[in-house]
Amino acid sequence: MVSTESVPRSKRRATSQKSLGRRSELLAIAAEMFATRGYAQTTVRDIGDAAGILSGSLYHHFDSKEAMLDEILRDFMGSLHSAFAAIAAEEEGPRQVLEGLIRYSIATIHDRPHAVALYQNESSLLAHLPDFSYVAQISADIAKIWLDVLAAGREAGTFRRDLEPGIAYRFIRDSVWGSVRWYSPDGALDHETVAEQYQKMLFGGLLAE
């Protein structure tokens, strides 16, 4: 009895997983290649070869090469923004929120290095394309979250008054996200250590005492 129901259900699930899996699989391949060799330098043939199909067959799944990039970036930036907003919404002090944002950022670099690298490398070139206007939009939304925390902490006396929040934000952002270029998820250094060291430097500086 259970089996009669479970068979089609599992089948349906399997099929849908397969379908969804195929798309995701292709996107994962594309993301990795876009990230490592650059979007423009990655040909659809490269992606097809890596996926074991002909380049033309990609167009059965996606409208264009650009559509693949769009799907990867849109998904990544959307979830990043949501996560940041959730962290900022927690009722805690500015320092705790900033710690949370940093920790989540470095964990994201660990979990989704290709999407992060892609965003780091391509967003400046993409900003001007109308189809990718959301990149600049979400970037601005994210910046606001960080800036608000920095400004609140400055008001509250947690952060130094002689620092301009706009410069501080860029300083933090560049140092944290920049680590995507050298951090290896499979390397000896684990991301929690990185987060810890970064927080020490960011909050306390390099000088002893």
Backbone angle region of 93, left / alpha / beta, with phi > 0 → left and psi within -120 to 50 → alpha: beta
- Local structure of 131: helix, strand or coil: helix
**In whole angstroms, what is the distance from residue 94 CA to residue 154 CA?**
9
CB of 40 to its own copies, least distance (A): 5
Give 7 or 125: the residue with its C-beta nearer to its own copies.
125
User: What residue ranges bind DNA (CB under 7 A)?
Assistant: 15, 18-19, 22, 42-45, 48, 52-57, 59-61, 63-66
The answer to whether 54 and 24 have CB atoms below 8 angstroms apart is: no
- Local structure of 112: helix, strand or coil: coil
Residue 182 near its own copies by CB under 8 A: yes
Residue 157 near its own copies by CB under 8 A: yes
Draw the binding track, 79-98, toward its own copies (x: CB under 8 A; -: no contact): ----------------x--x
Give 94 or 112: the residue with its C-beta nearer to its own copies.
94
The answer to whether 191 and 107 have CB atoms below 8 angstroms apart is: yes
**In whole angstroms, what is the distance from residue 114 CA to residue 130 CA?**
23
Contacting range for its own copies; rule: CB under 8 A; set: 12-20, 65-73, 80-88, 156-164: 156-164
Draw the binding track, 97-136, toward its own copies (x: CB under 8 A; -: no contact): -x----------------------x--xx-----------
From residue 35, give the alpha-carbon distance in Å to each of 31, 124, 190, 203.
6, 14, 21, 31
CB of 42 to its own copies, least distance (A): 10
CB of 157 to its own copies, least distance (A): 6
